Amino acid sequence: MTVLSLFSLPLVTLILSLWSSSAFASSDYHEHLLLHPLPQSSLLASFNFRSNTSKQSFDQQHFRYLPRALGQILQHAHTKELHLRFTTGRWDAESWGPRPWNGSKEGGTGVELWAWIDARGDEEAFAKWITLTQSLSGLFCASLNFVDSTRTTRPVVSFEPAGDHSAADQLHLLHGTLPGEVVCTENLTPFLKLLPCKGKAGISSLFDGHKLFDAAWQSMSVDIRPVCSADGECVVQIEQTVDMVLDIDRSKRSRSNPIPRPVPNEQLVCDTSKPYNSDDTCYPLEKTNDKAWSLTEIFGRSLNGVCPLTDFDGSSDQSVCLRVPHERGVFISEEADEIKKDDGFTRCFKLAPSAPFDLSIPQQPVNTEVPLDEPVLHAERTIVGHGQERGGMRIIFGNPCNTSAVDFIYFESLPWFLRPYIHTLHATITGHDGVLREVPASEIVKETYYRPAIDRERGTQLELALSVPAASTVTLTYDFEKAILRYTEYPPDANRGFNVAPAVIRILDTAHNAPIYIRSTSLLLQLPTPDFSMPYNVIILTSTVIALAFGTIFNILVRRIVTLDEAAALGAQTLKGRVLGKFVALRDRLRGKDTKVE
Amino acid sequence: MATKIGDQESPQASASHQPSVKRAPPPETPAAIQTRFRVIAAFWAVIIFLGFPIWWKTTSIYRASLPIEEMVDWADGKACRPVFPLEIHLATPSMQSLEAQHLLRTTQHALDDLNEFAAHHLRLKLSNGSTTATHNGEDSPESFKYLAEETADTALTVRLLPQEGLVGPRSELQTATTQLDIFYPPNQVPVPSSSNSPLSAFITAELQRLYSEEKATIAYILSGNTAGLDSTSPQLAEEIDRRLRRSIKYAETYHLSFSLFTPGSEPSSWDIEAAVNEYVSPLLQALSPISNFTIDTQVQLYANFAPTAPKPEYDESEAVWTLKKEGLSAFVNAAEWPLNPSIGSGPTINFILYIPDPSQSPLFVKENRASSWMVPQWGGVFILNPPLSHTDKQGGPSNPTHLSQDSLGPAFMTFSHQLLTLLGTPSTPTSLPLRLQTSIRIRAASLLLSASSTMGSLARLTKSLPSIPIPATVATSVSTTLSHLSSSCAHLREGRFSAALASARVAETEAERSFFEKSMVGQVYFPDEHKVAVYLPLLGPIGVPLVVGLLKELKRIAGRRKAKGAP
């Protein structure tokens, strides 16, 4: 009634849009799960969720697949492209081979965030970056608000935008890491809320915080980027992935009895060929890959149908894939269909829309193994040296390939309290003959980008373009000095050490279109740590010394100096002297009595 | 050590009592006594004139001086008595000027006689009929916009038009402008000799009727009740009270968030752009002189009720699912539904369109079969029960996958109505521009009061907590607030309500800023006894000799005085 009256307003022009349902044609949603048993009885589960929102509805804040909270943060901080990573554990490249997604969907241990921000200058970009980290911190329940200027870097060659950006934007890349952040269930809950199906249907219904954070390695990622087609129509794409490597035995442990217990002797799998094998000595056999498992056992719940938002056309309806040899038997729920791929190792499953899905693999000896590629590069980084004042960094790069050299960018952001001496950068090279050769660093390092630290303002940023020859191992070393922090700058657990963010390695490989990323493990740096009761001790000691000095000088200045005799004379008249005299007399009398008795 | 002996004995005393056995020291020279006096005096001078001021300066907290008296005056309403003189133009295109003036005089007289609330009064003014009327007709939304102009805002234009064949006068309020047309039979034009005329009585009654709700509302805001007004019915008073309690605090920007929630997976899309353009944008354009609005929308599937919320019950007699009225407060699952406020300053108003699960459809409120309700100061909820389709292969009915603009119509009509209510717009009169003008005056009055009472609270706070610091920014904010408060009050007095609202807005922002200044609530990191414990090893050994030295010296001086006075 009152509303009706509005529409008679002659001044208001009703803008009837030419909008049609075709505006949503570009909004689509995909999800995909790949299960890949790995050596040593591990299972890689790789979840991927991707959806598009048209640029127009993103700008007008009509959110459908893109979460509103995240979309508003991006608009508020003028962020054009965002990459957020939560990672725990270590990827065992020697047993498990190359990383999922070529390492492009994982971060260093803890939280890693990088974004391209549209801003007029560096300062404005940093101000927006701070807004972004503060808002994301609230959204993801992570300590991202601790990404301050000392933890922020601006990498030059290590990252490149993945989206299609308009030329008008002045993009600034900012990168921040929190190596000490413990990723846990409180980060998974907001992550799940961002998904359209919210973990209620589709592959996201498998997520269980207990299992996910019990994994040997897991990485959650959120990537948002603009994607433009050739005809200039742009969409904003959000891609969320969760990758985890579960230990099959550990995951199958019953929920009601989660405490790990030693395996009884009779159940140990021992190498009986060893001469010392007996009842009380056992050489454990390597875990085999033919273990029986099922989705319900591993994840603690079954897959709840499909998310109804996925497009039912083409290949995207096969949302679950498994990589085991075709000879291996797999039991699946009744309503689902199995489609075997031609490569001999992959099979995908077409799920029924609303029926729960389970998949189980019986124990079965297999002759063929799913081939694992050799990683392109091995990298390892450690802190060497001893003492509280100095230390050294040693980075080992191994090129397993026998024919070609590997070119890559090595990116390190060091905290300001670790002061590297770049002039001590040395390289040694070990060829396939095992001979160690000292080479000048310039022979290995093609280019260097170095931004020195400023105390308490920014950290060191070091980017090296390196080349490792075929079948050789390069060891880079440099020395550093450990700074002494101020009293209040020490965290409560200062004796644990300080986290140094993992190094990022970007392999420039022409064979792959997408770059390969490898991240080293994070390091713990021991700094000279004071005894924290020290300030009170210092205050008390200094006060005592000052009081002593003051008392002496003051007494000398105000006291009268007399001879010993005169002192005795004066003393006899004072109250103290009189009391003392009486006491002496009493003592003398007592002594006299004693002698009389004797 | 034996040579050092305290000099408790004054020289006179030691000289008079000659001990027999041991040789007493010779009396101290006056020079030595003088030196000792100077040493002690010097030490104490350093402590009193250097140490003490440094300690005082470094440990005292900065408290900028605030005009406490003035602030309390504002809070008590002594500094300003808000008045609302409404200027009403009387356009009489077909009347003689003498007649028109007489009509104006008599009507004004009648209005003044009837007015029982002095702060709100209507002022009639004769205008050049034809021009004003067209002027007002053309740009009524913009007419709020001139802020600091010297003339008062025109609240209403009354156009008197003669019409043949009428028995008595007849009025017609134009719904899209601020114009009231009054048609009268030409023979009723009052003659200057008569003191009363049916036409002026009619105009008076019409005006009184138009502004009765506004008057009651303002009286309620200013005094907290409508007791002073006899003409206000208890129902109206209750209505005003409810509306004021529901409405959101005034802000420069409101974020409107429209959300589609459904417990299943369908519908997953809606014609939201078209619906917003059709139903919300025109209203926001009309409201644009008062506030800015941003709109965002979202679709959320698998949105379940909170586990503690009461479940819908099936009403078999009518074959509908019902929610109990008292359970509606738990309807919105705040823990799980992503209804976080929008980023940026200003409150967020949430509108929720809920599509019940096919197994619980249709869903209504049990008591009155309503499908929508408002959450005071937060937003509104609308339950949409779309027609179910039975074509699905799963068996069982299902919701449509897409909601068209037509099906969203009722929901968005309700949302616009809820938005007006949440913004505190009164329900009468029928003309929207008039209602918005009324809402400007109501907002100005409430902001003025709220900023004044914040000033009062700040004044009380600074008086009651002497240990909190008051930074200079607070003093600046307070002075800005006070100056804007008085300019707002002045604008009100002269009838420029838009300007008054603008000033009151600034005053409110600054008042809030000064009251919620972060550095004022800083906690003492080291308690005083802690500091004393740490510094006792220093203060103790130094303090004792100094104090003892001072006492001895005072005793000596007192003794000498006595000795001088005795002989």
For the segment A532-569, what is each residue's pLDDT rounded down to a tens digit? 887 778 888 888 888 889 888 888 888 877 777 777 77
Integer-rounded Cα Rg, in Å, for chain A is 35
Strand pairing partners for A303?
Answer: A357
Residue B297 to chain A, least CA–CA distance (Å): 5
Instruction: Read off the pLDDT of each residue in A483-492 and give the average, rounded to a whole number.
Output: 87
Cα–Cα distance measured from residue A247 to residue B440, given in angstroms and rounded to the nearest whole number: 67
Instruction: Read off the pLDDT of each residue in A397-422 and give the average, rounded to a whole number.
Output: 91
Scan for tokens 């200013």, then name that residue: B222
ipTM: 0.78
| CA B142 distance to own-chain centroid | 25
- Counting beta carbons within 10 angstroms of the beta carbon of residue A279, is it exposed (0 to 12), middle (13 to 18) or buried (19 or more)? exposed
Contacts of A72 in chain B (CB under 8 A): 296, 342-343
The pLDDT of residue B476:
92
Whether residue B32 and residue A560 make contact (CB cut-off 8 A), yes or no, is: yes
Choice between A382 and A510, residue whose per-residue pLDDT is larger: A382
The pLDDT of residue B57:
86
Q: Does B2 touch chain A (CB under 8 A)?
A: yes
| CATH classification number, A378-525, choose in 3.20.20.300, 3.90.550.10, 2.60.40.740, 3.40.50.2000 | 2.60.40.740
Contacts of A549 in chain B (CB under 8 A): none
Across A114-142, b (16+ Cβ under 10 Å) vs e yields: bbbbbbeeeeebbebbbbbbebbbebbeb
Scan for tokens 């009486």, then name that residue: A582
Name which of B7, B14, B302 is nearest A200 (Cβ-Cβ). Answer: B302
Residue A193 to chain B, least CA–CA distance (Å): 8
Q: What angle do CA A536, A541, A543 make, to 5 degrees?
A: 95
Mutate to test the interface with B, among A64, A133, A135 (most CBs of B within 10 A): A64
The pLDDT of residue B502:
87
User: Taking Cα atoms as reference points, which of B417, B426, B423 lies closest to residue B214?
Assistant: B426
CB B270 within 8 Å of CB B386: no
Q: What is the DSSP letter of A538?
A: H
Question: How many CB atoms sit inside 10 A of residue A284's CB?
Answer: 10
Cα–Cα distance measured from residue A51 to residue A32, given in angstroms and rounded to the nearest whole number: 12
The H or E element that residue B55 is part of is helix B52-59
- Counting beta carbons within 10 angstroms of the beta carbon of residue B454, is it exposed (0 to 12), middle (13 to 18) or buried (19 or more)? buried
- Measured between CA atoms, the residue of chain B closest to residue A60 is B296
pLDDT value at A14 more than 80:
no
Choice between A117 and B169, residue whose per-residue pLDDT is larger: A117
Q: Does A6 touch chain B (CB under 8 A)?
A: yes
Name which of A539, A562, A565 is nearest B534 (Cβ-Cβ). Answer: A539
Whether residue A61 and residue B2 make contact (CB cut-off 8 A), yes or no, is: no
B447, amino acid identity: L
Whether residue B549 and residue A558 make contact (CB cut-off 8 A), yes or no, is: yes
Structure tokens at B163: 């019409």
How do the residues of chain B divide into helix, strand and coil, expressed in percent and rounded to 5?
50, 15, 35
SS3 state of residue B554: helix
Whether residue B273 and residue A566 make contact (CB cut-off 8 A), yes or no, is: no
Helix spans in B152-292 (H): 198-223, 234-246, 272-275, 281-287
Name which of B7, B22, B278 is nearest A568 (Cβ-Cβ). Answer: B22
> How many angstroms separate the Cα of A241 from the Cα of each of A45, A63, A313, A569?
10, 20, 22, 96
Instruction: Read off the pLDDT of each residue in A225-239 and give the average, rounded to a whole number.
Output: 89
Q: What DSSP string describes A393-416?
A: EEEEEE---SS--EEEEEEEEE-T
User: Taking Cα atoms as reference points, which of B117, B85, B77 lies closest to residue B213?
Assistant: B117
Check the CA dihedral B55-B57-B63-B68 and report its sign: positive
Instruction: Please give the average pLDDT of every successive group of 10 residues along chain B, which has 567 residues.
Output: 42 45 72 87 92 85 86 86 84 78 83 79 70 39 42 77 78 79 76 70 83 82 65 74 82 90 86 90 85 90 86 86 86 86 87 90 85 90 86 68 88 91 79 82 88 91 82 91 92 86 89 85 64 78 87 88 76
Contacts of A487 in chain B (CB under 8 A): none
Query: A4-18, A522-536, A575-589, B153-167: which has the minimum mean pLDDT?
Result: A4-18
Q: Which of residues 316-335 of B touch A (CB under 8 A)?
A: none
Question: How confident is the model over A19-60, as pLDDT tens digits?
Answer: 223 333 344 888 889 999 888 888 999 999 999 888 888 888
Q: Which of residues 64-83 of A touch B (CB under 8 A)?
A: 64, 67-69, 72-73, 76
Cα–Cα distance measured from residue A518 to residue A504, given in angstroms and rounded to the nearest whole number: 6
The pLDDT of residue B49:
95
Whether residue B298 and residue A64 make contact (CB cut-off 8 A), yes or no, is: yes
Mutate to test the interface with B, among A56, A538, A557 (most CBs of B within 10 A): A557
A450, amino acid identity: Y
Q: Does A15 touch chain B (CB under 8 A)?
A: yes
Strand pairing partners for A52?
Answer: A237
Structure tokens at A535: 């300030």
The pLDDT of residue B226:
55
- Measured between CA atoms, the residue of chain A closest to residue B546 is A554
Contacts of A3 in chain B (CB under 8 A): 279, 283, 413, 416-417, 420
The pLDDT of residue A88:
92
Residue A342 phi, psi (nearest 5): -75, -15
Residue B152 phi, psi (nearest 5): -80, 155
Structure tokens at B297: 């929308």
Name which of B28, B297, B534 is nearest A63 (Cβ-Cβ). Answer: B297
> How many angstroms separate the Cα of B138 from the Cα of each of B143, B174, B432?
9, 13, 15
Structure tokens at B542: 């130094």
Whether residue A560 and residue B343 make contact (CB cut-off 8 A), yes or no, is: no
Residue B131 phi, psi (nearest 5): -65, -45
The H or E element that residue A24 is part of is none
Strands B292-300 and A62-63: parallel
Q: Where in chain B is the domain with CATH 3.40.390?
A: 248-420
Choice between A585 and A455, residue whose per-residue pLDDT is larger: A455
CB A435 within 8 Å of CB A428: no
The pLDDT of residue B567:
55
CB A428 within 8 Å of CB A438: yes
Residue B50 phi, psi (nearest 5): -115, -55
Note the CATH architecture for domain B248-420: 3-Layer(aba) Sandwich (3.40)
Q: Does A57 touch chain B (CB under 8 A)?
A: yes
Name which of B175, B268, B545 is nearest A554 (Cβ-Cβ). Answer: B545
The H or E element that residue A218 is part of is strand A217-228
Q: What DSSP string describes B312-341?
A: PEEETTTTEEEE-GGGGGGTS-TTTS--PP
pLDDT value at A572 more than 80:
no
CB B310 within 8 Å of CB B327: yes
pLDDT value at A7 more than 50:
no
Size of interface A-B (CB pairs under 8 A): 199
Whether residue B541 and residue A69 make contact (CB cut-off 8 A), yes or no, is: no
Spans of all domains in chain A: 26-254+300-361, 378-525, 536-597
Residue A525: half-sphere exposure toward Cβ, Cα within 13 Å: 29
Q: Which of residues 269-308 of B touch A (CB under 8 A)?
A: 269, 271-274, 277-279, 281-283, 285-286, 294-299, 301-302
Contacts of B17 in chain A (CB under 8 A): 573
Cα–Cα distance measured from residue B438 to residue B488, given in angstroms and rounded to the nearest whole number: 16
pLDDT value at A259 more than 70:
yes
Scan for tokens 């130094």, then name that residue: B542
CB A452 within 8 Å of CB A146: no
Name which of B296, B302, B340 is nearest A198 (Cβ-Cβ). Answer: B302
